[in-house]
Amino acid sequence: MKLIYLTTNPFKLRETRIVPCDKYGLDVEAMNPDFEIYEIQAKTCAEVAGFSARYAADKLNKPCIKSDTGLYIEALGGLPGPYNAYFDKQIGVEKFLKLFENELNRKARIEHCFAYCEPSGEPVIFKDGGTGEIAKSARGKDGRWHDFFFVPDGETRTLSEIGDVDPALKASYYGHAIDDLAKWLQETKS
């Protein structure tokens, strides 16, 4: 069975090649559909991914995978949470770090969710993540908005710097949601 992963994000595409395809041998096709995939306003990435996966599966009449990532910053009461793309679009990395420069509490949590849904079905959601802190400056060349300033616990490098040299290690800091999805697909769909 060919699985449809709905994304245009090159970093998510690379992660998909590393984990479900190369590691688990699943046949995953990335697709940018010719319709808008709605992302609801929600408190969690799981809700966003689940809604989008269900919407796309029903629209395409094919099983679909959709993911969403959130950055939950302790000093900001959990913001931006699932609104990463909005923060990036509205203020960008440099302005965000400037606004955050005097903050002493730099603790943050990253969450990565994957939702699988079949047409007319309920989404099955896998989520995981990791903790870390917000760096004082943007570093690296590889990644999404938060990758340039999120430093995972036990690291001195940002996710972006890690991805510049080791994309598989970078993917591991997002947790095991993609592995859990791939294992579940192998067990239930093969």
Number of Cβ atoms within 10 Å of the Cβ of 27: 9
Active site residue 88: no
From 34, 68, 147, 180, the catalytic residue: 68
Determine the distance from the C-alpha atom of residue 162 to the mean position of all C-alpha atoms in its chain, rounded to a whole number.
16
Q: Indicate the length of the chain as a whole number.
A: 190
Identify whether the C-beta of residue 68 lies closer than 8 Å to the C-beta of residue 48.
yes
- Separation in Å, CA 133 to CA 28, 112, 168, 171, 188: 33, 16, 20, 17, 37
* Cis before 33 (ω within 30): no
d(CA 3, CA 128): 21
- Would you name the residues annotated as active-site residues? 68
